[in-house]
Amino acid sequence: MRVLDLSCDIAGRFGASQFVAAGDDVLRCAPLQSVSPWLDDGKRVIDPAELPALLPDCDLVWTSFDRGEYLGQAAGLAVPEGCVHVTTSSYGTTGPYADWRGGSMADWAAGGYLFITGDPDREPLSGPEHLCAFAAGYTAAIGAEAAVIDRLRSGTGRHIDISTMEAMLLLHQSTFSRTASGELRRRTGRYTEVYPLTVLPCRDGYVSIGVVSDAEFDKLSIAAGRPELTADPRFADRLLRWDNRDALDQELAGFLQQHDGDHVAEILQAGGIACAKVASPLEVARNSQLASRRFWKEATDGGILPGDPLRCFHPFQGGSPGLPPKQPDALPLAGLRVWTSRSSGPVPAPPAHWPILAPM
Amino acid sequence: MIWVERPGARLDTHIAEGAEPTPFELQFNLHDAKMFRGKRSIALNLEEPKDLAVAHALARQAHVVVENFRPGVADKLGVGPAELSRINPALTYVSLSGWGADGPWAEWRSYGPSIEAASSIEGRTGYIDGEPLRLGHTLPDGVGGLVGALAALRGLRRTFAGGEGGWYDISQLEAYVTLAADGVIEAKRTGRDMPLTGNRSRQAGVLQGVFPRRGDDNWIALRLDGDADRMRFAEAARLDRVLPTNIEAAEIAITGFTRLRDKAELAASLQAAGIEAFAVLNALELAADPHLTERGFFVAVQAGGRAYPLPGTPFVADPRMAHPGARAPRPGEQTDAIRATSAPWRQEMRCSSQGG
């Protein structure tokens, strides 16, 4: 399949990169200096001057939109009706906010997560800067795949207008069902409505403990070496555990302060309790589970890049990881200036004659 | 889509026409309406040979199977990827587990917060000098679902094009870590972790935050990227001088402007000046938001004869490609009908896989 990436935002670039992982031929039409080692890994980069010659042969086109306009190379461009056209933006290409300026802070607010994250007596708190855009990128890739499949069946293309705002709102599991029943979700800090489904300090940081049911609380008490807590009337059910959460924190503190977070997780998981250390980015980079599954790829600059979380085994029996299918219908690029962005393998040098273009 | 449920495993949250549900009943009814809409339900006890045979018959005709047992459980039940692919070699089989089907944590248990903790996203969320904090509502479950849906479609396209089926082993951790990978890449590059920064940006020259507005628990999020945005803000706020370069002083100056403004006009006026600004909306405000209303995002779901707004589809498409208003099935509602037919799925869908 022939994919053309004209996007300028993280959602679009990340969404289009899902098609690289699927083995499709993804062309990124952008100035070479704008290429991202991660988001554009495996895309073939073409000079924007070649765009008119390539556009009619594309099956899937990615564009970005902000402040009422298509961005970059997509500005004023007529995308062929027969192809699948995906546009990513903070608010969408229609509606009262279509002319508004989007971005990472607006995404957290518009997606409904900002109001409910943080301490109740402090200002709302945002999460990692680009998380919403990445989630929208996954959403856009789903829409693109579904539309491509429908095009295979029906021959009909379509335009899909993905907003980060709506992508994030869809990810709320119960916020809106609670609102309809009269309960407005607010900020609760480290607490959830059940206890101890929470984060607690341990010897070298913090651990996330997942106890929802009474049976899980019994398992926690036993695994933590405090079996007497199973019979403690203060913690007899979830409502009482919530009412007596400070006392419960004190009872568990002795166990938690004896061990590092990774050790706490091992002990509690062995006892049947969901638990993990609150990891820092560096700890994630050396996480044993991810290492065992070879999730991280070595980048050519000595760093790491994430692998494809869509890990496919094919065929079933024998279980060897599947390789991307071959590219039977790559865009004809003979005579055009092309450079393959390859951040996680051998680095092909950009052609010496590559033109210096203005940033997008 | 046929949903195989264990008999008796799910509460029947149906609310009869005209009934007055309790808030608890309504909440669970609407939760089911969001999560299960458009599916048909068959109740099968996979430990019973005759029910397992029904599951195998369904798998023979299915394009996609999705399961989220812990690793190995589906195999023990006789519905694992090896067994079902033997029955249907063209099948796309998607397994969604917390940590993945192999590795030292494969047997570990997980809830959304465990995944969030292990991903570094919790470790990167928190007030300056504070403790790490979870996001306000669990995201890893939904993100794992997104990646599972993407896997199903990737496999489906492959088989529509004449390829073989495949088993997608999706780890929620890997799906979620990918959303935070920029921070991991950077930490690995520099060899150090960054301290918590609250709402402040880690990018030089960017001034951003969440600032109070007039009223109780009213806030606005805004982001000024560079000198041009700072000048725009100073002009919009009619400050007699440019924003200070010192972050704390600049935040005080911004707060001095925002705290006196109503939320309705503040975001619009800053946006009119070309500034990234958005009111921090709660769920009630979002459900009534004019932008989302015009785009048709919320759908009215009926419960007991009344309509309630729930998120619809993020796929705003022309031609339309999703129909989020369908109702959710009661537990096992279509069991007899599905058992009684030899063609449980619509004919045109089955034909499409043979002709492309």
pLDDT in tens, A16-55: 999 999 999 999 998 888 889 999 999 999 988 889 989 9
Q: Does B31 touch chain A (CB under 8 A)?
A: yes
**What tens-digit pLDDT sequence spans chain B (356 residues)?**
999 999 998 888 888 888 889 998 999 999 999 999 999 999 999 999 999 999 999 999 999 999 999 999 999 999 999 999 999 999 999 999 999 999 999 999 999 999 999 999 999 999 998 999 999 998 999 999 999 999 999 999 999 888 889 999 999 999 999 999 999 999 999 999 989 999 999 999 999 999 999 989 999 999 999 999 999 999 999 988 889 999 999 999 999 999 999 877 899 999 999 999 999 999 999 999 999 999 999 999 988 888 999 999 999 999 888 888 888 999 999 999 999 998 998 755 443 333 33
Both tokens assigned to A320: 């060897």
Q: How, if at all, do strands A338-340 and A44-46 pair? A: antiparallel
Q: Does A62 touch chain B (CB under 8 A)?
A: no
Say how many CB pairs under 8 Å bridge A and B: 480
Contact (CB<8Å) B122/A278:
yes
What distance in Å separates the CA atoms of residue B262 and residue B214, rounded to the nearest whole number?
A: 5
Q: Strand pairing partners for B317? A: A160
Q: Does A281 touch chain B (CB under 8 A)?
A: yes
CA of A54 vs chain B CAs: smallest distance (Å): 23
Mind listing the pLDDT tens digit for each residue in B10-53?
888 888 888 889 998 999 999 999 999 999 999 999 999 999 99
Contact (CB<8Å) A201/B131:
yes
Contact (CB<8Å) B295/A102:
no
Q: Say what the ipTM of the complex is.
A: 0.95
pLDDT of the residue at A340: 61
pLDDT of the residue at B355: 32
Q: Does A141 touch chain B (CB under 8 A)?
A: yes
pLDDT of the residue at A322: 39
E-strand spans in chain A?
Answer: 2-5, 25-29, 44-46, 60-66, 69-70, 84-89, 158-163, 197-202, 205-210, 274-277, 296-298, 304-306, 311-313, 338-340
Nearest chain A residue (CA) to B352: A153
Q: What is the mean pLDDT of residues A321-341?
A: 49
> Would you tell me which residues 217-246 of chain B have a C-beta closer than 8 angstroms to some C-beta of chain A?
217, 219-223, 225
Both tokens assigned to A265: 């997780």
- How does the average pLDDT of chain B come out, rounded? 92
Question: Measured between beta carbons, which residues in chain A are less than 8 angstroms from residue B294?
Answer: 94-96
pLDDT of the residue at A230: 97
Which residues, at least 6 apart from B249, have a Cβ–Cβ distance to it below 8 Å? Answer: none
pLDDT of the residue at B207: 97
What's the burial of A316, exposed, middle or buried (CB within 10 Å: 0-12/13-18/19+)? Answer: buried
Question: Which has the closest alpha carbon to B157: A353, A207, A145?
Answer: A145
Q: How, if at all, do strands B276-279 and A60-66 pair? A: unpaired
Nearest chain B residue (CA) to A184: B283
pLDDT of the residue at A6: 97
Residue A5, pLDDT above cutoff 80: yes
Mind listing the pLDDT tens digit for each residue in B103-155?
999 999 999 999 999 999 999 999 998 999 999 998 999 999 999 999 999 99
For A144, the enclosing helix (H) or strand (E) is helix A131-154
Question: Measured between beta carbons, which residues in chain B are less than 8 angstroms from residue A180?
Answer: 26-27, 30, 308-310
Among partner residues B117, B135, B154, which is closest to A277 by beta-carbon distance? Answer: B117
CA of B270 vs chain A CAs: smallest distance (Å): 10
Question: Measured between beta carbons, which residues in chain A are less than 8 angstroms from residue B308?
Answer: 177, 180
Q: What is the mean pLDDT of residues A58-85?
A: 96
> Would you tell me which residues 85-114 of chain B have a C-beta closer than 8 angstroms to some C-beta of chain A?
85-86, 89, 93, 98-100, 102-111, 113-114
pLDDT of the residue at A185: 94
Q: What is each CA distance from B96 to B45, B72, B173, in whole angstroms?
A: 21, 12, 10
